[in-house]
């Protein structure tokens, strides 16, 4: 479930903490912090499904309350139950593994009922919800599309959600959109014939698990050597005046390109140029791109880049 892009983000954040804090405890302590950070992302993946179910339950309660009115209107007695009867939500409710995980890790939204009400209100006031409820298309595909839209529209960039998450975990600050994309992919894979939802695993495979700790450790251990190469590449720049995040991104890219034989160079370059766009200055992506291009060409000429199969820059 945890993509390599998110792993790179987590490693970058931890490297910044390592080089700016008290690292006397050594690498093992930071490796544990990295694992904890990735596990918290997995917690959030489950929590987002629980939030959908809580909003669904809130909608059901409102319908039952309206039906029980002493003087109920026809609309109260015969409400539009399209959302509460959503077939995909029923599959999610049947996913025992979701509740086993959240119960064993004490993950729920019980302390923030106002968030459940808020997301419900955002949903019912949206044009997409109104269109879904009024549509004559009652197919499974329409239900599936709506649930995917729930994650992509009602939760992305929501100020209250972001505030609640920030108050609950420092690890969730940059995770939200990454994790929501995993929720969407999980729903997208569902079939009408499925009884329940198949949850993604924390790591796609053992290679991804090792990639996280290896990338962090190799970047730390190669710090001095990589800095020497960077200094020789940017002779006309004062290294101390460059953005530290830029330098860490370049160091991570160098470590990945030289240490992971199965990852194509172009893939690594694209990933770290994108990281620079979001985690450093406005001009960082062009700077990182230019410096890495020079360094990679130099390392290639010196035979320092060894890849299995394709991957070298042409």
- CA distance linking residue 248 with residue 266, whole number of Å: 19
Q: What is the pLDDT of residue 311?
A: 43
Question: Among 212, 187, 211, which Cα is nearest to 198's?
Answer: 187
Q: What is the pLDDT of residue 309?
A: 60
Whether the CA torsion 295, 297, 302, 304 is positive or negative: it is positive
CATH number belonging to domain 222-301: 1.10.940.10
pTM reported for the whole predicted model: 0.87
- State the DSSP string of 144-193: HHHHHHIIIIISTT-HHHHHHHHHH-GGGTTTHHHHHHHHHHHHHT--TT
- CA distance linking residue 86 with residue 230, whole number of Å: 55
The pLDDT tens digits along the chain (314 residues) read: 788 999 999 999 999 999 988 777 788 899 999 999 999 999 999 999 999 999 999 999 998 887 776 676 767 677 779 999 999 999 999 999 999 999 999 999 999 999 999 999 999 999 999 999 999 999 999 999 999 999 999 998 899 999 999 998 888 878 899 999 999 999 999 999 999 999 999 998 889 989 999 999 999 999 999 999 998 888 766 566 577 888 999 999 999 999 999 999 999 999 999 998 888 777 777 888 889 999 999 999 988 898 876 544 44
Domain ranges in the chain are 4-188, 222-301
């Amino acid at each position: 479930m945890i993509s390599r892009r998110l792993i790179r983000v987590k490693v970058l954040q931890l490297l910044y903490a390592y080089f700016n804090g008290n690292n006397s405890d050594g690498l093992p302590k930071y490796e544990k912090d990295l694992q904890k950070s990735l596990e918290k992302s997995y917690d959030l993946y489950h929590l987002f499904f629980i939030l959908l179910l809580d909003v669904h339950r809130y909608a059901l309660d409102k319908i039952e309350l309206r039906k029980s009115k002493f003087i109920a209107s026809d609309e109260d007695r015969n409400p539009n139950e399209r959302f509460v009867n959503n077939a995909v939500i029923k599959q999610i409710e049947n996913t025992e593994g979701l509740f086993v995980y959240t119960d064993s890790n004490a993950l729920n939204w019980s302390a923030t009922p106002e968030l459940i009400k808020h997301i419900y209100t955002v949903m019912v006031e949206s044009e997409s919800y109104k269109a879904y409820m009024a549509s004559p298309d009652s197919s499974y595909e329409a239900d599936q599309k709506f649930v995917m839209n729930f994650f992509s529209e009602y939760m992305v960039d929501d100020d209250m959600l972001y505030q609640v998450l920030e108050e609950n975990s420092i690890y969730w600050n940059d995770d939200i959109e990454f994790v929501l994309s995993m929720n969407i992919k999980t729903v997208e894979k569902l079939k009408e014939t499925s009884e329940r939802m198949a949850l993604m695993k924390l790591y796609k495979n053992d290679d991804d698990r090792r990639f996280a700790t290896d990338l962090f450790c190799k970047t730390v251990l190669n710090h001095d050597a990589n800095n020497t190469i960077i200094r020789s590449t940017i002779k006309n720049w004062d290294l101390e005046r460059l953005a530290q995040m830029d330098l860490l991104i370049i160091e991570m890219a160098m470590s990945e390109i030289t240490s992971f034989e199965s990852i194509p160079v172009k893939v690594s370059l694209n990933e770290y140029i994108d990281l620079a766009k979001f985690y450093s200055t406005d001009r960082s992506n062009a700077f990182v791109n230019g410096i890495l291009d020079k360094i990679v060409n130099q390392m290639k000429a010196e035979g320092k880049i060894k890849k299995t199969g394709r991957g070298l820059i042409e």
